[in-house]
Amino acid sequence: MADDPRPLASLSLTHVHYDPTDPLSYVCAWLALVPQGLCVVYATLIWSTREAEIALLFAGQLACEAINFALKRLIKEERPARMYGKGYGMPSSHAQFVAYFAVSLALFLLVRHRPPTARRRRNHTPMSMPERAAWSAVAVAVATAVAWSRVYLNYHTAKQVFVGSAAGVVSAVGWFVITGILRQSGWLAWAIDLPLARFLRVRDLVVEEDLCQAGWEKWDDKMTALKAQKSEKER
């Protein structure tokens, strides 16, 4: 293998250039990995929860990436001069990706998510509106940091990042409207009731309850029963 004359290629998916003498540049290099991390989160949640809302959110994310791919090849604007990467720079795919995610999460938490009140569910207090607003603000702050890091690392100009962020926001709002129509028209309910969806155990609960609630109730029932059995034995 050592004598093989064939040159090796670099997998550039997580290959980020930064200034090793600048601590802030190092932080920005890690921020560049946020989209890849979010893809792992998407895959994990879709597999573990089988929630239709999360799958729809990811479908919109992929559509947003396809729009970015098309825009870059339509606009064909180069990246900043001091840039070692490949491809066009307008609009920034990182900025568009995180803007879509942050806005979509905020729209879900603040508009679509309607968890039951504590009076209707035992041993569970759903997130209040201030808590949901706080999490939305965190998502927007992280998205802003990721977008800014692209300019700091000289991967994009400020204009490319701004356009990417705007495209992400428009994509998120547009997809939120489309999925709302799918819900109101009954198409989503129809799709979830298809044999394949039922085989995959697809469900649509997260809009009206927290992800952890169903599992928590089963666990709480089990622990309550065990405590009751223990009390009976002690008598």
What is the token pair recorded at 159? 């204009």
CA gap 116, 15 in Å, rounded: 45
Instruction: Read off the tokens for 105.
Output: 């999460």
Whether the ω angle into residue 91 lies within 30 degrees of 0, i.e. cis, is yes
Predicted TM-score (pTM) of this structure: 0.83
How far, in Å, CA of 105 to CA of 63, rounded? Answer: 16
Is residue 69 situated within a structural domain?
A: yes
pLDDT score at 217: 73
Q: Which domain holds residue 227?
A: 19-234
CB 172, CB 60: distance < 8 Å: yes
Residue 212 covered by a domain: yes
Q: Which residues pair with 51 in a beta bridge?
A: 203
176: nearest Cα among 97, 61, 48 = 61
- Number of domains the chain is built from: 1
The pair of three-digit structure tokens given for residue 68, joined into one six-digit string: 């970015």
Q: Is residue 118 part of a domain?
A: yes
**Is residue 12 situated within a structural domain?**
no
Residue 76 lies in a domain: yes
24 in any annotated domain: yes
Output the CA–CA distances (angstroms, integers) from residue 126 to 46, 103, 118, 216, in the order listed.
21, 21, 7, 12
Which amino acid appears at position 71 of this protein? L
Task: Please indicate, yes or no, if residue 189 is contained in any of the structural domains.
Answer: yes
Cα first-last separation, the chain: 74
In a domain, 150, yes or no: yes
Per-residue pLDDT of the chain (235 residues; tens, 9 = 90+): 456 566 655 556 667 777 788 888 888 888 888 998 999 999 998 998 888 899 999 999 999 999 999 988 888 888 887 665 567 778 988 999 999 999 999 999 998 888 776 555 555 667 778 888 999 999 999 999 999 988 888 888 889 999 999 999 999 999 999 999 999 898 988 888 899 988 988 888 888 877 676 677 777 777 888 877 877 777 6
**In contact, 120 and 134? CB cutoff 8 Å:** no
The whole-angstrom distance between residue 147's C-alpha and the CA centroid of its chain comes to: 15
